[in-house]
Amino acid sequence: MRNLVVQKFGGTSVADTDKIKNVANSVIREKKLGNDVVVVVSAMGHTTDYLMKMAKDISEVPSSRELDMLLSTGEGVSIALLSMAIQAQGYDAVSMNAMQIGIITENVHTKARIIDIKTDKLNKYLSEGKIIVVAGFQGVTEDGEITTLGRGGSDTSAVAIASALDAKRCDIYTDVEGVYTTDPRIVPNASKLDVVTYDEMLELASVGANVLHPRSVETAKQFNMPLRVRSSFNLENRGNLIKGEYDDMEICRPVTGVAVDMSKVRIVVCDVPDEPGVAAKIFTTLADEHISVDTIIQSYARLHNNTNDIAFTINKTDLPRAMELFDKINDEIKADKIHIDDNIAKVSIVGAGMIDRPGVAATMFDTLANLNINIKMISTSEVKISCLVDADVANDALRALHKAFNLGCDVIATVKGDLPNI
Ligand code: ADP
Ligand code: ASP
Ligand code: MG
């Protein structure tokens, strides 16, 4: 471990030139504390959404290679401007994109995983005392093709760079003061979690707490990299820490947080033959195209015609490609029809403390029933329960679940211990 901190600033933190100057101040502040600094930045404001919209205006299913060429440009603007802002204050800074560094990813477009990060140039610049400003979200394949890591992926760039450089910490600066029991924009009395474990944060991020990209937490866990989430706009607040384990002997709350995910669409493959190989065909076809599948339900076989339905959820962005694939394989799977439901949301409760604690699922279902909310699908793991509901009632469900599990800041004054110094 060395005296190096990696900082990451998201889109809202670099939304205009004044905010970029503010970020430069935070970077210099860290440098003045005696640390080497590598800064990872996202595209300014809603740039990536805007680029995406232009692509969709031109083609309904744009080529994923060209999408990556387009989307990766956003971060290029931020790194150059931030580097200039740091230099304008008399500090030595250099901007670098993924190609210049060698952030090597697998050969997959729009959701590539990082395989390796070359550290020679980074180390050279650090040894010269430079602050390095790195473009998040982007990568490059061994063959020199530009890739991106998936929406929100700059968090993962930052943690991967911190791990590759053996940094002492990775600080994620964003537009809220840390990770809360739920999205504080939807539930204003959400409580800030002072310390969260990698496992709980991974579950929370995977079910929609998009304050962190799930793969950034996965990488932090793998390399045991302490992650701090804090506000770009209030440096007095030290945010929160995500690390290996709680210091308490036994976790006392059954549920740590609740989340909603509006990014999914449900596909129901209706009336497929109830015979071996059908599910395998559907899911290997999707997997071969790197389409991840979430909750899966297969209905009982209907005895009169020996068919069943297979329902599952995928990301909305993968829907056009998935439909093309279903057209191709339908001769083999013989589905009567494919039903799409895109007005859905997934609400989830997460907590390591729910293991072996009866009644947690019952409380969740009861809370939704009291709001007259119909549950369309349920999936569970040891530390999570998710229900698929109509999108229009999802935020009401979130608020009610947050209340039912006593997560409001009026109920729990302090969540977990003091924030340790690292
Ligand atoms: P950035 O541009 O900095 O990457 P994001 O928009 O990706 O920021 O993530 C920050 C947002 O995450 C917050 O504005 C908040 O609305 C949302 N969010 C969702 N769940 C949570 C949670 N549990 N705690 C904090 N923020 C959350
Ligand atoms: N700019 C990318 C996005 O909007 C990556 C990121 O912000 O993390 O998804
Ligand atoms: Mg983000």
Ligand 2 binding site (Cβ under 6 Å of any ligand atom): 10-11, 42-43, 48, 74, 136-137, 151-154
For the CA atoms of 313, 317, 319, 322, the dihedral, rounded to the nearest 10 degrees, stands at -100
Burial of 80: CB neighbours in 10 Å, binned 0-12, 13-18, 19+: middle
- Model pLDDT, residue 249: 47
Mutate to test the pocket of ligand 2, among 75, 78, 154, 216 (most ligand atoms within 8 A of CB): 154
User: Quick check: CB of 4 below 6 Å from ligand 1?
Assistant: no
User: Quick check: CB of 12 below 6 Å from ligand 1?
Assistant: yes
Q: Is the pLDDT of residue 420 over 90?
A: no
Rounded percentage of the chain residues whose pLDDT exceeds 90: 80
* pTM of the predicted structure, to 2 decimals: 0.92
Are 89 and 28 in contact, with CB atoms under 8 Å apart? yes
Instruction: Report which residue type is found at 132.
Output: I
Distance CA 205, CA 218 (A): 10
Are 5 and 30 in contact, with CB atoms under 8 Å apart? yes
Give me the chain's average pLDDT, please: 93
Are 182 and 195 in contact, with CB atoms under 8 Å apart? no
Distance CA 393, CA 3 (A): 48
- Model pLDDT, residue 415: 46
Closest ligand 1 atom, residue 172 Cα: 3
Q: Is the pLDDT of residue 135 over 80?
A: yes
Are 385 and 347 in contact, with CB atoms under 8 Å apart? no
Distance CA 224, CA 314 (A): 30
pLDDT per residue as tens digits for the range 23-46: 999 999 999 999 999 999 999 999
Q: Is the pLDDT of residue 126 over 80?
A: yes
pLDDT per residue as tens digits for the range 248-290: 645 567 899 999 999 999 999 999 988 899 999 999 999 999 9
Q: Is the pLDDT of residue 414 over 60?
A: no
Query: What is the Å distance from ligand 3's center to 172 Cα?
Result: 9
Closest ligand 2 atom, residue 75 Cα: 1
Mutate to test the pocket of ligand 1, among 194, 210, 237, 241 (most ligand atoms within 8 A of CB): 210
- Model pLDDT, residue 238: 80
Closest ligand 1 atom, residue 186 Cα: 16
User: What average pLDDT does range 211-226 have in this prediction?
Assistant: 96
Query: What is the Å distance from ligand 1's center to 46 Cα?
Result: 14
- Model pLDDT, residue 251: 57
- Model pLDDT, residue 413: 47
Query: What is the Å distance from ligand 3's center to 163 Cα?
Result: 19
Query: What is the Å distance from ligand 3's center to 85 Cα?
Result: 22
Q: Is the pLDDT of residue 57 over 60?
A: yes
pLDDT per residue as tens digits for the range 80-109: 999 999 999 999 999 999 999 999 999 999
- Model pLDDT, residue 15: 98
- Model pLDDT, residue 66: 98
Q: Is the pLDDT of residue 417 over 60?
A: no
pLDDT per residue as tens digits for the range 318-355: 999 999 999 999 888 888 899 999 999 999 999 988 87
- Ranked by mean pLDDT, the top range of 60-64, 129-133, 405-409 is 129-133
